[in-house]
Amino acid sequence: MAIHPIVIYGEPVLHQRAEKVTDFDDELATLIADMHETLDASNGVGLAAPQIGVGKRIFVFNAEDDDGVRRRGTFINPLLIASKVPDTRPDPDEETEGCLSVPSLDFPLKRAERVTVNGLDETGQSVSLTAEGWFARIMQHEYDHLQGMLYVDRLDKRWSKKWKKEQAANGYTVPGRSWMPGVDPDPFGH
């Protein structure tokens, strides 16, 4: 297993729809093991393959749900079904997100309260998960990565303006930037 660098906003692979996985082989097993190791080293709660520069429809997660139950797993070629996203403004105290590919920044974003994710695990077996609240937010965030979208691309007008200023100030506009979990300082201070 190996820890991979996490690419930063502006890297083309983050802004393209990821490709469907068709081969469930040793190479895939190694990639998924590396993703879990990278996630653990990053102190994050989810990681999509595009975040380590691999344009495949895979994400891994390791986080507690709203009931305090730790959930760790893998989704390959997932399909996400979400409840309606409320039309209200996001609460900056309760509905803020961050992203390993947008280091050190977080912004409020409204998300669906409930989701169901269907997909495959690392052996090609069908898996399904229904989540609410915080854990549903994680599932939506990681699924977006496979669509070529980051959470900052979904911000409302007010927060989008703040993001654009921070994006320019941090140089999150050009490809070729990354950070290495476990080596570089943790951008979120964990």
Bridge-based pairing of strands 70-82 and 58-64 is antiparallel
Active site residue 64: no
pLDDT of residue 186: 85
How far, in Å, CA of 51 to CA of 86, rounded?
A: 28
Q: How many other CB atoms are there within 10 angstroms of residue 22's CB atom?
A: 9
- 115-145 per-position pLDDT tens digit: 999 999 999 999 999 999 999 999 999 999 9
The secondary structure of 99-129 as a DSSP string is ETTEEEEEEE----SEEEEEEE-TTS-EEEE
How far, in Å, CA of 42 to CA of 35, rounded?
A: 10
Is this structure's pTM higher than 0.85?
yes
Q: Which of 11, 37, 122, 142 is catalytic?
A: 142
pLDDT at 83 over 80: yes
